[in-house]
Amino acid sequence: MFKKILIANRGEIACRVIKTARKMGVKCVAVYSTADRRALHVRLADESVCIGEAKSSESYLRGDVIIKAALTCGAEAIHPGYGFLSENAEFERACAAAGLVFIGPSADSISAMGLKDCAKDIMRKAGVPVVPGYQGEQQDDNFLAEKAQEIGYPVLIKAVAGGGGKGMRLVEHASDFIESLATCRRESSAAFANDHLLIEKYLIQPRHIEVQIFGDRQGNVLHLFERDCSLQRRHQKVVEEAPAPNISDDFRNAICGAAVRAAQAIDYYGAGTVEFIVQGDTFYFMEMNTRLQVEHPVTEMITGQDLVEWQLRVACGEALPLAQDDISINGHAFESRLYAEDPARDFMPQTGRVHHFSYPQQSQYMRVDTGIEAGDSVSVHYDPMVAKLASWGEDRTSAALNMAELLRCTYMSGLPSNQEFVASVFDHNVFLDAVIDTGFIARYEQDLIPETYAKAAETEIALAALFYLLGLGIQSSAVNPWNAHDNWRMGASALLRNLSLVNKGEVIAVMATCHGESLEVEGIGQVKLLSYHDGVLKALIDDVEVSAVVLSYKQGITVFSNGRVVDLHVFTPELDGDTLDANGGRIVAPMPGSIVQVMVEVESVVGKGQPLLVMDSMKVETTIPANFDGVVKGVYIAPGDQVQEGTLLIEIAQEEGENDAA
C-alpha cells in the first residue's frame, strides 16, 4: 500500500479521501488555492501545499504544479477526486511520466469516454443501446438546427466534453434553438475549454439510472448495482437513491450487465459510472464517468463497501476485493445534496460565510460528507455544494424517514440553502410512492417551492421577536437589545417596542410590549418563553406550545422549524442607516460573477420579468429580469465585466400611476 498520496482536489471529496486513507495508514497531502488557505481539507491533511490563485484555472487545473507538489512532498500517487483533473487523460499520462500512480483509470480509457460522441460509437459496437441523435464534427449553427429538426423536438443540446449539467440545455421549440446553442457553447467553453456540442432526442418523462462499476488491472470487471438519479434541477442531481425503485430483477440484470460490457469494451480499471436514460423498460447509454461519483455514498451504504479503499487497492495493483457473487444489496439509501443556493430565485448560487453548521452524530443510518465547518466560506470560484447528507434504512420507506429526520436536524445559517426545498421532496407523497422521473422537480415545483417558501409565518415572526427582544442570542453575537435606544426595561412592562424584520426582501413591522419573559405581539398574541437551550427555543404562543431551533449572527436570525428554514434580518438604524431600501428599480448583482450579455440599453422600455442581462457565476449562467414595468435609466456594466455581490448593474424608472393603470 502507498505510504503517502496527494489529493488533487478540494472540499468534501478531499475530506472523504483523507478519511479512508487515514484508516488505511496512508498519509495525505492536500493542495489548496489562496481562497482555500484555511479550508477543512487543508486542516485535516498531514501536509498541505499552495498551488496558486483562487481561479481553478490558476490552481486546481494546473496539472504541472500539482505533479511538482507531489514529487516535492514525496507522494507516490495522486488521487484526483472528481471534477477538475479526474477525467483528464493528459494529466494521467503526465503522472505516469513523472513516476506517480494516478488513482483512476488509464489515459486510454479516459480518452475513449471523454467525448460523448466518440463514447457512443464505442457503445454501439459493444452492443449497448444509445439515444438517437447527432454527434458529428459539423458544428455550423444552421446545420445543427436542421439536425434538431430531423431528430424532432424536444431535443437536448449537450457539450461533448461536459458533465454536471454545464453546457446542457433542453430545447422544446425550434425558435429557441439558436439562442440555447449559443448559451451551451459559452458554458462548455468556460467549463471544459471545448465548445463542441451534440444533439440528442429528449425522452419524455425518463428516469436517470446509473450503474457503479469497478475494474482491476488483472482484467476483472464487476458492478455494485445501480442508483436512481432522476431528481435533478438544471440537469444537476439533487437527490439520489440506491437501489433504483420499481425495477424488476430482469431489468437490473440487463442494465448492470450492459454497464459491465461498456467497461470491458475499453479495458477499464478503477471506479467508474455508466449512466443510462430509461423510459419504461428500455434503457439507453448516455455517458460514462471515468471517476468516482458524488453520489457514491449510497452505493457504499447498500453494499457495505468502501469505494475509496477499493480505488487505493486497485491503484496498488491488487485484484478486486470481492467477486460479483459476493456483492449483494442490503436495504435502501438516499443522498441529498445541500447547496448554497436559493430555490425561490431559480436556484441561484449563493456565496458567503457559513456562520453555523451542525448535524446529527453519524451512524449506519445517517452520514454527512462535507468540506465545510462553521466559519468557512462558500466561494464564487467553486461549486456551491456544501455537504452530502446520506441515510440508510432496511427499506425505502425507512430510509426516507431517516433522511427527513437528518434534514430536520441539520442546521446551517449565514447564507440561503436548498435545505427546505429538499425537505419538501421527502414530504411529497408522489416521491414517497417512488413515482419519479427527471421532470419531477419541474412538474411539482409549486409544491416544492410554494409562494410561502422561506417566508416568515406568524410563528417564526413571534419566535424571532421573542429571541431578539429577550436577548437570548447575545452569546451568539446577536444584536444586543440592551444597547437599543428605547424604553425597554428588564422584568417590567414597557411601552410598545417597534421591531423591523427583513425577510426575503420584505419588511415586517413587529409591535410588541414586553412583560418580563413574555411579549404581547400585535396581530399574533401573547408569546411566552418556556426555555432556550443549545439553540432550541420553546415558547407558548396563545397557550399553544411551539418549538424551533433559533440561531443568530450579528443582525441575522435563522429559524429552523419542521424542515422550514427562515432567514430574518433585524433592521437597526445604528447599523443599517436611517431607511430601509428595497432597491426599487436598482438591479444589483445577486452574487459575484461576470457579465455575459446585456440585453437592454438606456431608454429601453421593459416589462416586468423581461430579461435584462445574463451573469455567469460558478460556471452557471443566470438571467436577471426586470422587477417591474418601466424605462431603463442607467446601464452600468458591459459584457466581460467582473462584478461583486451588490454591484449596481441597471437602473429602471417606474412611471407614476403605472401600478394603478395595471
**Alpha-carbon gap, residue 470 to 464, rounded angstroms:** 10
The tally of CA atoms less than 13 A away on the side-chain side of residue 499 is: 33
Q: Which residue blocks in 193-332 are alpha helix, DSSP H? A: 249-264, 296-303, 307-315
Give, rounded to a whole angstrom, the gap between the first and last alpha carbons of the chain: 72
Q: How many CB atoms neighbour CB 369 within 10 A?
A: 20
Q: Which three cell numbers stand for residue 16?
A: 472523504
Q: Residue 593 pairs with which residues in a beta bridge?
A: 643
Place of cell 459496437: 125
Q: What's the half-sphere exposure (Cβ side, CA atoms, 13 Å) at 278?
A: 26
Rounded CA gap, 348 and 384, in Å? 10
Query: Can the peptide bond before residue 243 be classed as cis, meaning omega within 30 degrees of 0?
Result: yes
Residue among 485, 477, 431 nearest 241 (CA): 431
Peptide bond into 154 cis (omega under 30): yes
Element of type H or E holding 146: helix 141-151
Alpha helices in 449-545 (DSSP H): 458-469
Sign of CA dihedral 308, 314, 320, 324: positive
All cell numbers assigned to 158: 449537450
**Assigned C-alpha cell, 506:** 420584505
Query: Among residues 62, 169, 233, 291, which one is catalytic?
Result: 291
Residues contacting 393, CB < 8 A, separation 6+: 331, 332, 333, 365, 399, 400, 401, 402
| Axis crossing angle, helix 307-315 with helix 11-23, rounded to the nearest 10 | 70
Strands annotated E in 322-416 = 332-339, 341-342, 348-349, 352-353, 356-358, 366-370, 377-378, 385-393, 411-413
Query: Residue 250 and residue 265: Cα distance in Å, rounded?
Result: 22
**CB–CB of 372/378 below 8 Å?**
yes
Neighbours of 146 (CB within 10 A): 13
Nearest alpha carbon to residue 153 among 176, 131, 186, 185: 176
Q: Tell me the three cell numbers of residue 581.
A: 431600501
Please state whether beta strands 4-7 and 27-33 pair in parallel, antiparallel, or not at all (unpaired). Answer: parallel
* Contacts of residue 143, Cβ cutoff 8 Å, sequence gap at least 6: none
Enumerate the β-bridge partners of residue 389.
Answer: 336, 368
Q: Read out DSSP for 482-506?
A: GGSSS---TTSB-S-EEEEEEETTE
CA distances from 412 to 198, 353, 401, 568 (A): 39, 11, 20, 14
**Residues paired with residue 118 on neighbouring β-strands, in sequence order:** none
Q: Which amino acid is at 29?
A: V
| 291 carries an active-site annotation | yes
Amino acid, res. 572: T
Task: Tell me the C-alpha distance between 556 and 561, whole Å.
Answer: 16
Give the Cα separation of 152 and 177 in Å (integer): 12
Pairwise CA distance, residues 522 & 86, whole Å:
58
Active site members: 291
